């Protein structure tokens, strides 16, 4: 479930996020002199990226498809037929099946099964391994990876889900992160931005026409979260110590991040509109990496 949607379901809307954040108003490094050139490069890249969600794959992905200089993004629907759901359940590990059983709402359990089952299926296709044989291990902050040795560990992936949609990212060797959020009309984006965006970002957001601010907030949030998930720290890292471009029209970029001096040169970010009412972002560490986007339609 997405962090943003979670915050509205508790009495203190910031409580859950606050648990993960140690907000520190420490200063960000200044923007590098190359920032303008990076912005032009990001703009060119965005021009070249064509999000083609008619590009539907039923899971026949050849390993060769994922070239060294590519990041693959998969938009994955989480509402499935009973038949597909039961197939996905059958390929989960015992731990995963137990986790599915602990959800209080049946819809949440089904979405979890759909997400893990799709992730296993796609990884299995890339690696030519039966999906139920894959084993996951977890990094210090909870990021999953494949357990084992090469070639299993050559693919790095990232997962995000929000309501009925998931977004997965896959790259060979490159650290990467994704985030997808359903745009919620009931969230006070100005209050969230005041708390979690940097002073510069907050000022910029509030200077936009009021009817653009919600979308800009979600663009900013997903770019930050994709980057932090790519680093593996997730929301344990203060969000206001990462600065990003904010609107769908600007090239998606990480402008500054505490402790990551050349971040705008070393990380590439891609904005996504994966479905009506959703916004997504992907971030990958590397210079010349092309994003390709597919929509997954699982077979049972
Ligand atoms: C990861 C995190 C950003 C999730 O945000 P979210 O918007 O609620 O959820 P999303 O749907 O976008 O992402 C969830 C997925 O992120 C992945 N994930 C979990 N921890 C992660 C991390 N540290 N870095 C990157 N990805 C992570 C998982 O695949 C998870 O999905 P899954 O549980 O179904 O496999 C947030 O929970 C977080 O920051 N966690 C780490 C916080 C922490 O400090 N943990 C300390 C150890 S308890």
Burial of 49 (0-12, 13-18, 19+ CB in 10 A): middle
The string of pLDDT tens digits covering residues 188-197 is 999 999 999 9
Instruction: Give pTM, 2 decimals.
Output: 0.85
Mutation probe of ligand 1 site: the residue of 92, 138, 142 with most atoms within 8 A of C-beta: 142
- Cα 150 to Cα 114, 123, 262, distances in angstroms: 27, 14, 29
| Domain residue extents for the chain | 181-285
Which of 234, 238, 278 best tests ligand 1's pocket when mutated (most atoms within 8 Å of CB)?
A: 234
Q: How far is Cα 42 from Cα 266, in angstroms, rounded to an integer?
A: 12
Q: What is the rounded CA–CA span in Å between residue 106 and residue 256?
A: 41
The residue that leads in pLDDT, 282 or 26, is: 282
pLDDT tens-digit readout, 227-263: 999 999 988 899 999 999 998 788 999 999 999 989 9
Mean pLDDT of 32-48: 69
Check residues 136 and 30 and name the one with the higher pLDDT: 136
Flag whether pLDDT at 1 surpasses 50.
no
* pLDDT, position 152: 83
pLDDT score recorded for residue 51:
63
Cα–ligand 1 centroid distance for 17 (angstroms): 12
Listed range (19-23, 106-110, 276-280, 294-298) with the worst mean pLDDT: 19-23
* Whether residue 52 has pLDDT greater than 80: no
Q: For 12, what's the count of Cα atoms within 13 Å in the CB-facing half-sphere?
A: 6
Per-residue model confidence (pLDDT) at position 38? 73
Ligand 1 cavity residues, CB under 6 Å: 1-3, 20, 115, 141-144, 158-161, 179, 225, 229, 232-236
The lowest-confidence range among 26-35, 57-66, 79-88, 130-139 is 26-35
pLDDT at 54: 57
pLDDT recorded at residue 159: 98
What class has domain 181-285?
A: alpha beta
């Amino acid at each position: 479930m997405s962090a943003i949607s979670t915050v509205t379901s508790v009495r203190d809307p910031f409580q859950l996020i606050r648990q993960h954040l140690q907000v520190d108003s420490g200063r960000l490094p200044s923007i590098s002199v190359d920032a303008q050139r990076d912005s032009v490069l990001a703009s060119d890249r965005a021009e070249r990226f064509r999000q083609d969600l008619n590009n539907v794959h039923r899971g026949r992905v050849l390993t060769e498809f994922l070239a060294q200089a590519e990041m693959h993004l998969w938009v994955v629907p989480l509402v499935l037929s009973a038949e597909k759901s039961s197939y996905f359940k059958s390929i989960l590990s015992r731990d995963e099946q137990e986790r599915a059983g602990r959800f209080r709402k049946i819809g949440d359990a089904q979405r979890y099964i759909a997400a893990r089952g799709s992730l296993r299926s796609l990884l299995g296709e890339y690696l030519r391994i039966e999906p139920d044989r894959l084993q996951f291990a977890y990094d210090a902050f909870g990021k999953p990876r494949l357990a084992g040795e090469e070639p299993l560990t050559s693919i790095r992936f990232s997962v995000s889900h929000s309501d009925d949609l998931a977004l997965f990212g896959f790259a060979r060797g490159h650290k990467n992160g994704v985030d997808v959020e359903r745009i919620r009309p009931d969230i006070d984006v100005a209050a969230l931005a005041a708390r979690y965006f940097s002073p510069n970002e907050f000022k910029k957001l509030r200077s936009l026409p009021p009817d653009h601010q919600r979308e800009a907030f979600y663009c900013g949030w997903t770019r930050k979260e994709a980057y932090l998930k790519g680093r593996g720290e997730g929301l344990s890292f203060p969000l206001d110590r990462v600065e990003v471009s904010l609107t769908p029209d600007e090239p998606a970029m990480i402008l500054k991040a505490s402790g990551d001096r050349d971040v705008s040169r070393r990380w590439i970010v891609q904005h996504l509109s994966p479905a009506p009412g959703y916004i997504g972002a992907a971030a990958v560490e590397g210079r010349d990496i092309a994003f390709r986007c597919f929509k997954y339609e699982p077979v049972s």
